[in-house]
Amino acid sequence: MQQAQRMSVLGTETAFEVLARAEALARAGSDVINLGIGQPDFKTPPHIVEAGAKALRDGHHGYTPSPGIPRIREAVAADVARRRGVEVHPDRIVVVPGGKVTMFFAMMMFGEPGAEILYPNPGFPIYESTIRFSGATAVPIPLLEEKDFSFDPDEVLSLITPRTRLVIVNSPANPTGGAIPREALDRLVAGLAEHPHVAVLSDEIYARMTYDGREHVSLMGYPEIAERLILLDGWSKTYAMTGWRLGYAVWPEPLVEGATRLAVNCHSCVNASAQLAGIAALEGPQDSVGEMVAAFDERRKVIVEGLNALPGVTCRNPGGAFYVFPNVTGTGTSSDALQQRLLEEAGVAVISGTSFGTFGEGYLRFSYANSTGNIRRALERMGEMLSEPAMAAIP
């Protein structure tokens, strides 16, 4: 068999590997605390589950229109207007099986050999992987710890060349929890006026998860780039629906046909019951979202304080999502080695910063989508491990 060359550059998401290893250890009797996986530890709210179940009982078992049933596209448009203050026509919305699919489509649309795509680093690993898969050159945008993991907008603009096709922005972000402040986005958007050939993919899948009274600043709020902005969002995180596989994008009008054609070629449509559940999520009570975010906020405080008390660890207070990205250089141990020892010896699953790009060395990602009790136990175990005299000798 001879596979295409591009298969050799396709990356992965290490979180799934760590999850598999953590589960294997748990099956073998170890008590593993999983702070590795990026999904809410809450159940999908019952009224959403019921809408999905009812759809199946009512016989919604067939294909639907490829970009989504009209009602869900309308519901998304109404939600975008409500939360982002921007009117979009439902025809610009393409509903897909999860946020990742929009990412993949954007890379297939813009990436090819000779093209350049800018992406956050450390960032969600699938950006770099799919850029490379498309044949394009992946150009990292460094996220800076000293800026609470925001970027320097002038540095981003300086990376743009005539070959740049797309810039990816993710706020609030995985893996850092960083939220890009309004001033940085203002400056980026102002500078993009000089580069009308560059499209923007704004991954706002954590938009509803911000803390300390911080507002979510959406790139949808900038009319200057409205004609070249792709908004990526979905249900996975907001409504604890990761396994349902449901996401959407608002595409600029000229790109809708291409996105729909990619959907027809790839998955035909999202299953009808997930779409009907998705409508119930957007239109139904939102209390569960507020409750979940309040729980995350409480855990965020516990984990940030706890990490800062550990020897060799410093941790910024993240503005959003449900991750912290502590600097562990003071432990004298590489991120990969620390990830492995924490799992195998302390029974704490976390992800090495290097899984999110080369600029992630020196950091670990913790997901605090776990109970406060488990977070405290994990911190205790880490404290014991990091205090062992032998830690100093590990490369």
Query: Is 174 one of the binding residues for ligand PLP (CB under 6 A)?
Result: yes
Nearest approach in angstroms of CB 129 to ligand PLP is 13
Q: Which is nearer to ligand PLP, 334 or 370 (CB)?
A: 370
Nearest approach in angstroms of CB 40 to ligand PLP is 11
Query: Is 178 one of the binding residues for ligand PLP (CB under 6 A)?
Result: no
Question: What mask of x and - would describe binding to ligand PLP in positions 215 to 234, judged by CB under 6 A?
Answer: -------------------x
DSSP-based helix, strand, coil % in the chain, nearest 5: 50, 15, 35
Q: Which stretch binds ligand PLP (CB under 6 A): 97-105, 114-122, 277-285, 355-363?
A: 97-105
* Beta strand pairing call for 199-203 and 164-170: parallel
Site for ligand PLP in 271-330 (CB under 6 A): none
How far, in Å, CA of 350 to CA of 14, rounded? 10
Question: Angle at CA 345, nearest 5°, toward 340 and 347?
Answer: 85
Nearest approach in angstroms of CB 234 to ligand PLP is 4
Q: Which is nearer to ligand PLP, 99 or 347 (CB)?
A: 99
Site for ligand PLP in 21-60 (CB under 6 A): 38
- How does DSSP assign 285-299, residue by residue? --HHHHHHHHHHHHH
Q: Which is nearer to ligand PLP, 234 or 347 (CB)?
A: 234
Nearest approach in angstroms of CB 392 to ligand PLP is 34
Q: Which is nearer to ligand PLP, 38 or 142 (CB)?
A: 38
Nearest approach in angstroms of CB 241 to ligand PLP is 8
How far, in Å, CA of 336 to CA of 352, rounded? 5
How far, in Å, CA of 201 to CA of 335, rounded? 29
Query: Is 18 one of the binding residues for ligand PLP (CB under 6 A)?
Result: no
Site for ligand PLP in 98-127 (CB under 6 A): 98-100, 124
Query: Is 205 one of the binding residues for ligand PLP (CB under 6 A)?
Result: yes
Write the CA distances from 292 to 92, 125, 319, 390, integer angstroms: 30, 25, 16, 39
Nearest approach in angstroms of CB 289 to ligand PLP is 16
Q: Which stretch binds ligand PLP (CB under 6 A): 67-75, 96-104, 131-139, 380-388?
A: 96-104
How far, in Å, CA of 235 to CA of 281, rounded? 8
How far, in Å, CA of 283 to CA of 271, rounded? 19
Q: Which residues pair with 170 in a beta bridge?
A: 203
Contact 70, 275 (CB under 8 A): no
Report which residue type is found at 225. I
Nearest approach in angstroms of CB 250 to ligand PLP is 15
Question: Of 67, 90, 120, 247, which one interacts with ligand PLP (CB under 6 A)?
Answer: 247
Q: Which is nearer to ligand PLP, 100 or 300 (CB)?
A: 100
Q: Which is nearer to ligand PLP, 178 or 306 (CB)?
A: 178
Write the CA distances from 9 to 35, 101, 113, 115, 133, integer angstroms: 28, 18, 13, 16, 6
Nearest approach in angstroms of CB 235 to ligand PLP is 7
- How does DSSP assign 309-360, residue by residue? TSTT-B----SBTTEE--B-GGGTS-HHHHHHHHHHTT-EE-EEGGGG-GGG
Contact 164, 117 (CB under 8 A): yes
Binding site for ligand PLP (CB under 6 A): 38, 98-100, 124, 170, 174, 203, 205, 234, 236, 242, 247
